[in-house]
Amino acid sequence: MFLVYDGPDAGDVFKNFTDIPHLINTVKQRDYVGTTELPINGAANLGAGSNVFRVSVQRPDSSLFIRLHDMWNDWAESHKGKYGLLELGIQPVPKLLTDASNKYLGGNAMQMPDGPYIWIEFLLSASPFLSDDQLVELHESFKNMTEFIKPPKGLPLFVNDAAKDQEVLRTYGGFKKLQKIKKKYDPDGFFTKQTVGWSLEDAD
């Protein structure tokens, strides 16, 4: 959780959150660069380009992953010169991991279904020489490519690599519990209204 206040003393502004029991408190005064880089290291570096992460998930299937690689490779070839970095990350989730995750302290927000399955991470770092229109077009094409093979229902997305439009929390087995926690600790919706991120509201 990041608490940011433009001044030396926030008073009781964040009291609803700082009163929540926690293991460690690293709150301190930082400069603007340090504050900008709290969620993403290097975010204050304007030369870092436009980075877009997206994530998918699939059960192990060799023919599907051959199709996935071919699709990604074709996209990479047809968009050369428009990106500085393009990555396809394959992250196996074995049953040993899901068993351990659900057993330790009763599990977590994800409540992982039994493995094995595979998280698929896509990363696009766009060229800084693109116009705004070219950047929008590239991002839309990249999104379409990553969504070509639909993930099966019942498998969670990996939050670290998810895009803001992917509604990752709704794929979690613990989604209903997260909703109850939000209602208890943020009944007025302060956190929802004042920050960005994935929604804990019911899907339409």
- pLDDT-based confidence at 202, cuts 50/70/90? low
Q: Which of 132, 120, 121, 119 is nearest to 50 (CA)?
A: 132
- 200 in a domain, yes or no? no
- 22 in a domain, yes or no? no
- 109 in a domain, yes or no? yes
- Mean per-residue pLDDT of the chain: 87
Check whether 203 has a pLDDT greater than 50.
no
- 26 in a domain, yes or no? no
Mean pLDDT of 48-67: 88
pLDDT in tens, 136-156: 999 999 999 999 888 999 999
What integer pLDDT is reported at residue 66 of this predicted model? 94
Q: From residue 167, how far is each of 171, 193, 201, 203 by CA, in Å?
A: 8, 17, 10, 9
Q: Are the beta carbons of 66 and 149 closer than 8 angstroms? A: no
Q: What residues contact residue 166 under an 8 Å CB cut-off, 6+ apart?
A: 54, 55, 157, 198
Selected residue with higher pLDDT from 20 and 78: 78
Q: Whole-structure pTM over 0.85, yes or no? A: no
User: In angstroms, rounded to a whole number, what is the distance separating the alpha carbons of residues 91 and 56?
Assistant: 10
What integer pLDDT is reported at residue 69 of this predicted model? 94
What integer pLDDT is reported at residue 42 of this predicted model? 57
What integer pLDDT is reported at residue 18 of this predicted model? 85
- 178 in a domain, yes or no? yes
Q: Are the beta carbons of 122 and 79 closer than 8 angstroms? A: no
Q: Are the beta carbons of 56 and 146 closer than 8 angstroms? A: yes
Which domain range does residue 159 map to? 49-195
- 137 in a domain, yes or no? yes
- 15 in a domain, yes or no? no
- 31 in a domain, yes or no? no
Count up the domains in the chain and report the number.
1
Q: Are the beta carbons of 55 and 119 closer than 8 angstroms? A: yes
pLDDT in tens, 61-110: 889 999 999 999 999 999 999 998 899 999 999 999 999 988 887 778 88
Share of residues in the chain with pLDDT > 70 (%): 93
